[in-house]
Structure 1
Amino acid sequence: MGNRINLLACRRKLIQKSGFTLVELIVVIALLSIMLAFALPRFEGNMLADNNKKVTRWFMNQVQILRQNSLKNRKVYILNISPDAGTMWITDESMTEEDLETASQNGYSLPDDITITGILYPDGDKISFGSAEIRFYKTGYSDKVIIHIEDDDNNPVSLLIEPFLPAIKVYEQHIDFES
């Protein structure tokens, strides 16, 4: 029985001194940090990204999708832009009047601080009001056009859509076809 009392006393001392060492805590925190770094999405400032970049990315994605769809489906697709209303919508040559109206109502609306200041065609036409059409043909090419957008701080962006290039060119200034 004497041995039993000593074992209980030793257990009490171990229980009172139990805890994690500094090295163990550092290792656990390091492992958690590494796991979180790979598991959490990276924001890289996207939470505060300006709307100019958001609209530019929208145009870049839509132009790429329209080129691919026009080749794949062998249809003429049209990117309709209404600068004064600040909306854009996509139609194709086979849509009925009802479908065209529905597409225009369900189009993409620009953020409040972004305006389309003009759409410039190579022949010199500039559209600032009404509706402009950018066609994407069955063979994979498109109309050549420059889209000018601007935010409330007067930061201009020009988007150049080339007929044969898959990606659009982005300029952080107003350009025209002569420059």
Structure 2
Amino acid sequence: MKKPEKNSGFTLIEITVVVSLISIMLFFAVPQFRNTLLTDSINHTSRWIMGKVRVIKEYSTSKQKLCILHVNLDSNKMWVSEETMTEENLHQANEKGFEIPGDLRLINVEYPQKGIISSGQADICFYKAGYSDKALIHIQRDDNEKVSFLIEPFLPTVKFYEKYVGFEDL
């Protein structure tokens, strides 16, 4: 005698429910994914600047060395040096520096006393005593949206502004 066949498969209702759930999840996830792609370079750059400033301040204080964050506005690059580096080490540090992503551009670096530096290289010093130069780093996206990073002399954190901010605005 033959055993009855089992129908293995999904019913139309089960398939409809699964497709509906996947559609709802994609409806909410895709716009967030698109926004992540658009803001990824500014987030990456922000994390680098904020993290690097904190590390440089701690390092210069603990090792009792003058450290400098070099912001090269012409090559769209940032790199760090310290006072005891040789010429060869300085060149290597420059070569290994952080390159700003292609859709971003360093506009300028602003100091309260020195003013605005828009071309060449701007240096932000981090001193042995634990303080640094006060400076604003301005970055622009391809879509003309501008952001600013404020480095405070006595604070380990960098303040991020989602617009162009000068010292007269603070």
TM range (shorter): 0.7 to 0.9
- The 8 Å contact of residues 52 and 150 in structure 1, kept in 2 or not, is answered as no
Q: What is aligned with 2:91?
A: 101
Gaps spanning 5+ residues in structure 1: where? Answer: 1-11, 20-42
Pairing partner for 2:109 from 106, 111, 119: 119
Deviation at 1:46, TM superposition (A): 4.9
Percent identity, aligned pairs only?
42
- The 8 Å contact of residues 157 and 170 in structure 1, kept in 2 or not, is answered as yes
Pairing partner for 2:71 from 62, 75, 81: 81
Query: Within the alignment, does 1:170 sit opposite 2:160 as a pair?
Result: yes
Normalising by the residue count of structure 1, what TM-score does the alignment of the two structures yield? Answer: 0.73
CA displacement 1:12-68 (0-9 Å, x = unmatched): 89xx88x9xxxxxxxxxxxxxxxxxxxxxxx98756543122211110000000011
Q: What is aligned with 1:144?
A: 134
Deviation at 1:147, TM superposition (A): 0.5
CA distance in 2, matches of 1:155, 1:65: 28
**Aligned length in residues:** 152
Amino acid at match of 1:125: G
Amino acid at match of 1:54: H
Name segments (4+ residues, structure 1) moved above 2 Å.
43-50
CA distance in 2, matches of 1:127, 1:177: 14
Gaps spanning 5+ residues in structure 2: where? Answer: 9-31
Q: What is aligned with 2:61?
A: 71
Pairing partner for 1:131 from 121, 140, 148: 121
Q: What is aligned with 2:28?
A: none
Q: CA distance change for structure 1 residues 93 and 124 in 2, over 3 Å: closer, same or farther?
A: closer
Deviation at 1:173, TM superposition (A): 1.2
Normalising by the residue count of structure 2, what TM-score does the alignment of the two structures yield? Answer: 0.77
Q: Give the number of the structure whose alpha-carbon radius of gyration is greater.
A: 1
CA distance in 1, matches of 2:66, 2:83: 6
- Over aligned residues, Cα RMSD in angstroms? 2.5
Pairing partner for 1:62 from 49, 52, 60: 52
